[in-house]
Every structure is written in structure tokens, then in C-alpha cells.
């Protein structure tokens, strides 16, 4: 059985997010609001698990520490803009522009992560550790996802 390394798992989720953003940017009204909720349910657990597992492991290595600090700052910016969008109506004049900025921010972050951090991380992590991190990432991502779903049910 093939056990994926953390890079494969993150890249697959990055592709899924890219597809969701394409749908979101083409949508209007209630469809756009629903898609934004789906983006949140994919993006927040992904970024929190990435921080708790992948970034945590790489933050103290001099080869990856700076990239991790930048990635963490970008996660905070993305989540702030996501929260702003979630508080707005898709009918708001500024909503589509802010959604485009969010998609662009995430796209740039993914490009930097896959193009710069992944190659550096491969020098830090051996394949077995990268596989263990992938499994830990999935567990943490699913835990955060369940928490967010519980929040949504409680708010409904």
C-alpha cells in the first residue's frame, strides 16, 4: 500500500482548493455564499493542520525557518480576509473583488510553498518522516474539520 508523503497530500489539497476558488469566482448570490462556506471548510482545517504538523516540524531548522514564518503570516492574512468575506453578502459591491484577492493570495502562497518550501523540506525530512507527517496531518485536519462543523451546527 502506498503511503503518501506530506508533500503529495498538501499538493492534492492545494489542487482541490484551486478548483473550489475557480467555482467561487464564477458564482453569484447564494451559490457564491455556499461555495465560500465550502472554501472555509477546506481551507481552515488544511492551514491549521499544516501549521500544527508540517510547519511545527520545520520551524526550528535554519533551512526552512524563514519560509515557515512567511507561511504563517500568510495564513493569518488569508484567514482574516476569509472572515471578512464570510461576514459580507455576495451581493455587496466589494465582495467579488475581495474574493479575487483571496484566491490570488492563496494561489501565491501555494506556489511559494510548493516551489520553495517543499524542496527545502525534502532536505530536512527523510521519506519515512514525510509519510508520518502526512498521517499526522490527516488526523489533525479531520479534527479541525469536525470542530468547525460543530461550530456551524451550534450557530444554526
| Residue 1 within any structural domain of the chain | no
Q: How many domains does the chain have?
A: 1
pLDDT tens readout for residues 79-104? 999 999 999 999 999 999 999 999 99
Question: What is the CATH number for 42?
Answer: 1.20.120.520
pLDDT tens readout for residues 23-40? 999 999 999 999 999 999
- Percent of the chain at pLDDT > 70 equals 99
Confidence of residue 149 (pLDDT cuts 50, 70, 90): confident
| Residue 83 within any structural domain of the chain | yes
Task: Print the domain residue range for 87.
Answer: 6-155
pLDDT tens readout for residues 109-130? 999 999 999 999 999 999 999 9
- DSSP class per residue in the chain: -----HHHHHHHHHHHHHHHHHHHHH--HHHHHHHHHHHHHHHHHHHHHIIIIIIHHHTTSTTTHHHHHHHHHHHHHHHHHHHHHHHS-TTSTTHHHHHHHHHHHHHHHHHHIIIIIHHHHHHHS-HHHHHHHHHHHHHHHHHHHHHHHHHHHHH-
| Residue 74 within any structural domain of the chain | yes
Amino acid at each position: 500500500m502506498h503511503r503518501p508523503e506530506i508533500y503529495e497530500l498538501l499538493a492534492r489539497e492545494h489542487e482541490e482548493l484551486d478548483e473550489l476558488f475557480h467555482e467561487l469566482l464564477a458564482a453569484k448570490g447564494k451559490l457564491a455564499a455556499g461555495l465560500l462556506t465550502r472554501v472555509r471548510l477546506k481551507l481552515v482545517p488544511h492551514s491549521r493542520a499544516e501549521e500544527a504538523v508540517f510547519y511545527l516540524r520545520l520551524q526550528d531548522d535554519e533551512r526552512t525557518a524563514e519560509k515557515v514564518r512567511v507561511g504563517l503570516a500568510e495564513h493569518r492574512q488569508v484567514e482574516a480576509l476569509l472572515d471578512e468575506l464570510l461576514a459580507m453578502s455576495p451581493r455587496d459591491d466589494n465582495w467579488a473583488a475581495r474574493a479575487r484577492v483571496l484566491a490570488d493570495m492563496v494561489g501565491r502562497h501555494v506556489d511559494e510553498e510548493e516551489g520553495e518550501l517543499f524542496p527545502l523540506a525534502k532536505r530536512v525530512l527523510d521519506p519515512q518522516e514525510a509519510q508520518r507527517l502526512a498521517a499526522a496531518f490527516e488526523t489533525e485536519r479531520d479534527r479541525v474539520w469536525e470542530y468547525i462543523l460543530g461550530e456551524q451546527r451550534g450557530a444554526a
